[in-house]
C-alpha cells in the first residue's frame, strides 16, 4: 500500500474525494468537512468578488434593478425566472472568470505569457457574450410592459 507521501495529487486518501495527499498541497486548499463549510466557502468567494471585482458589483446591481423592475411591472413569474437565470449566468461566469484569472496569475507569477493572455481574454469574452445576451433578454422582456406603463407620461 502506498504511503500518503507517495500518493499522487489526484489520488483520494481513505476514500475521501475531497482529501488528497501530497506534501506540497497540504495547506494549498481548505477541505469542506460538512455542508455548512461548503456554503461558507462559497459565500467567501462571492464576498471576495463583491469586494474586489468592479464588474461583479455592476452585474449584482444590474440584477437587482432588473429583477425589481420585473416585479414592479408585474411580469409573469416565468419571465422573472428567465431574467433571474440570465442574470445568474452572467454573475456565475464572472465568478469563474475571477477564479481563472487568479489561477493564471498564480501560475505565471509576474511574467507575461501569451497563453495566459488568451485564457484571460477568452474568459472575459465569455462574460461579455453572456452580458450581451442578458441585455437582449432584458430588453425583450422588460421593454414592452415598460413602454405600456410609461405611455401616459409620453
Task: Report which of 29, 53, 59, 31 is spatially closest to residue 101, judged by C-alpha positions.
Answer: 53
pLDDT at 2: 45
Residues with catalytic roles = 94
What's the domain count of the chain? Answer: 2
Instruction: State the 10-residue block means of pLDDT for the chain, 154 residues long.
Output: 43 45 52 86 96 97 98 97 98 98 94 96 98 98 96 91
CATH code assigned at 84: 1.10.287.3610
Give pLDDT, residue 130: 98
Nine-digit cell string for 100: 481563472
pTM of the model: 0.77
Give the torsion sign (CA, 45, 88, 64, 57): positive
Q: Does some domain include residue 56?
A: yes
Q: Domain of 107? A: 42-153
The residue among 21, 42, 34, 45 whose CA lies nearest residue 98 is 45
CA 140 to chain centre: 24
Amino acid at each position: 500500500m502506498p504511503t500518503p507521501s507517495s500518493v499522487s495529487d489526484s489520488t483520494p486518501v481513505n476514500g475521501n474525494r475531497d482529501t488528497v495527499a501530497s506534501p506540497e498541497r497540504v495547506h494549498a486548499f481548505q477541505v469542506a468537512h460538512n455542508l455548512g463549510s461548503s456554503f461558507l466557502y462559497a459565500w467567501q468567494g462571492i464576498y471576495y468578488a463583491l469586494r474586489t471585482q468592479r464588474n461583479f458589483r455592476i452585474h449584482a446591481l444590474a440584477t437587482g434593478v432588473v429583477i425589481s423592475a420585473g416585479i414592479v411591472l408585474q411580469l409573469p413569474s416565468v419571465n422573472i425566472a428567465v431574467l433571474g437565470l440570465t442574470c445568474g449566468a452572467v454573475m456565475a461566469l464572472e465568478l469563474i472568470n475571477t477564479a481563472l484569472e487568479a489561477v493564471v496569475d498564480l501560475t505565471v507569477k509576474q511574467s507575461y505569457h501569451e497563453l495566459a493572455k488568451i485564457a484571460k481574454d477568452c474568459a472575459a469574452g465569455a462574460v461579455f457574450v453572456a452580458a450581451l445576451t442578458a441585455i437582449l433578454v432584458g430588453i425583450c422582456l422588460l421593454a414592452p410592459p415598460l413602454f405600456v406603463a410609461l405611455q401616459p407620461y409620453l
